Each structure stands twice: as C-alpha cells, then as structure tokens.
Amino acid sequence: MAGAGGQSSSGVRDARRRQIREAAVRVFAERGYHATRVSDIAAEAGVAHGLVYHYFASKEDLLREVFRRSWSHLVVGLEDIRQGPGSATDRLARVVRLMLGSYRMAPELVRVLVLEVTRSANLRHEVEEIRTGFATIEALIRDGQEAGELRRDVSPELASYITWGAIDEVITAWVLGTLPTTDEEMSAAERAIVAVVGAGLAEPAART
C-alpha cells in the first residue's frame, strides 16, 4: 500500500532503517561502540529515541546489521572477481583494489568494521560470516594453482590469510592514522601489496 507521495510502506520502512543505520555508523565511528548510546544515534538520525527500537532491537542489533550488510556486499564483490576474467594475479590485484578502495569510498564505515567488529569481541558470533571472505580468496588462489598460474607449494588457505592480512593491516593503519591517506600514498600502498602478493604467489616462470 502506498503512503504519502506514493511511497510504499515497505519503502518507508527501508528508508527509515537506512537513515538510522547510517546515523549509527557516523556515531560509532566518532565515539566508539561502547561509548555510544541509542539516544545519540536517535539524535544523529533526527528521530525519536523510541523509533530506533521500533526498527532495531538493540544497539548490538544495529551494529550487527551494519556488519552483515557491508560484509555481504564485500563477499559478493569478491566472488564476482573470482568468477571474472583475467589471470589469477590480475584477479588478486582486483581483490586488493576492491578492499582498499572500500576505505576511500566509506572511511567511517570501514573504521567501524575494523575497530568495532573484526578487531573486537562485540560480534564474536560472526566469525563464520567473516570466514566466507577468506574462503573466496582461498578458492581464487586454488583456481590459479590448478590452472598452473600460481605456485602449488603454498597452502591456498594459508595464502588467503596472508593476502587478507596484508590488506587488513594497511587498512587498519589508515584507520589508526599510522599510515598517510593521501591519494598518492593510498595508491602506493595498493601497488605495493599487489607487487608483493602477486610476485610471491606467481609460478617462477610467470615472474619474468
């Protein structure tokens, strides 16, 4: 059923959830999850305190939705790269660009994901969901090994953690301010990870 202006009730609900979710990201990024109150999120969103609870059961529920929506988009992007064209090293380079590019596009969101989810115990039950990202990179590396493009003397599971770890550490350094985040420096970081990971995993004959 359409509401005012012809927007359906489900459309209104989705818009309101998005409004509150985006406000939560901004407040979590500024204050941290534990220091944030639901009333702070309501004020940032410009809605009544009780309305937040109409759409989300708790502050933890809000953080969980922020994580799940963001993570599901990342996993879809990673799988698209895995199934896409190009050599294994080309696709690994696209993985690096996708993940590092997320900070360029949404630094507040990435700050929340790094500090309040992946490096904290706030959502300790989401470990399996996080593992899906590693699994997709692992599958990409295994595909490259089977095609003879990547060296086979390295465990694809271990290689996926090493690749992810290099990307994650750079993003974390950006979040913490220990690495510069000018466009030039961020592009240099991307090139460095691509060079190190690509050369390290490539078959010796493919490195020339």
27-51: per-residue pLDDT in tens? 999 999 999 999 999 999 999 999 9
- The answer to whether position 3 is within a domain reads no
- Which CATH number characterizes residue 29's domain? 1.10.10.60
Do 50 and 63 reside in the same domain of the chain? no
Query: In which band, very low, low, confident or very high, does the pLDDT at 1 lie, cut at 50, 70 and 90?
Result: very low
Residues 114 and 196 both lie in one domain: yes
Examine the domain organization and report whether 128 and 99 are in the same domain.
yes
Same domain, residue pair 95 and 128 = yes
From the list 53, 52, 41, 55, the residue with the least C-alpha distance to 10 is 55
Residue 9: pLDDT band with limits 50, 70, 90: confident
Q: Where does the pLDDT of residue 131 fall: very low under 50, low under 70, confident under 90, or very high at 90 and above?
A: confident
Do 36 and 76 belong together in one domain?
no
Residues 127 and 180 in one domain: yes
- Residues 20 and 32 reside in one and the same domain: yes
Angle, CA 80 vertex, CA 196 and CA 63 arms, to 5°: 90
Q: What pLDDT is attached to residue 7?
A: 63
- According to the model, what pLDDT value does residue 130 have? 76
The pLDDT of residue 191:
96
2-16, 24-38, 112-126, 177-191: range with lowest mean pLDDT: 2-16
Q: In the predicted model, what is the mean pLDDT of the chain?
A: 90
Do residues 148 and 124 both lie within one domain?
Answer: yes
Quote the CA–CA distance of 180 and 138 in Å, as a whole number. 30
pTM here? 0.86
Specify whether 99 is located in the same domain as 46.
Answer: no
User: Per-residue confidence at 126, pLDDT binned at 50, 70, 90?
Assistant: low
CATH number of the domain residue 120 falls in: 1.10.357.10
pLDDT band with cut points at 50, 70 and 90 for residue 123 = low
Q: What is the DSSP string of 49-66?
A: HHHHHHH-SSHHHHHHHH
| Residue with more model confidence, 121 or 133 | 133
The CB-based long-range contact list for 167-175 (8 Å cut-off, 24+ gap) reads 167/95, 167/96, 167/99, 167/100, 167/193, 168/114, 168/118, 170/100, 171/99, 171/100, 171/102, 171/103, 171/110, 171/114, 172/114, 172/119, 174/103, 174/107, 175/103, 175/107, 175/110, 175/111, 175/114, 175/115
State the pLDDT at residue 129.
73
Q: Which residues contact 100 (CB under 8 A, 6 or more apart)?
A: 167, 170, 171, 186, 189, 190, 193
* Contact residues for 113 (Cβ-Cβ < 8 A; gap 6+): 66, 67, 70, 71
Instruction: Say if residue 13 is in the same domain as residue 98.
Output: no
Does the pLDDT of residue 171 top 70, yes or no?
yes
Highest mean pLDDT among 6-10, 123-127, 134-138: 134-138
Structural domains of the chain, count? 2
pLDDT at 196: 94
For the cut 60, the answer to whether the pLDDT of residue 70 exceeds it is yes
The residue segments making up the domain with residue 111 are 58-206
Average pLDDT over residues 114-122: 78
| Predicted pLDDT of residue 5 | 53
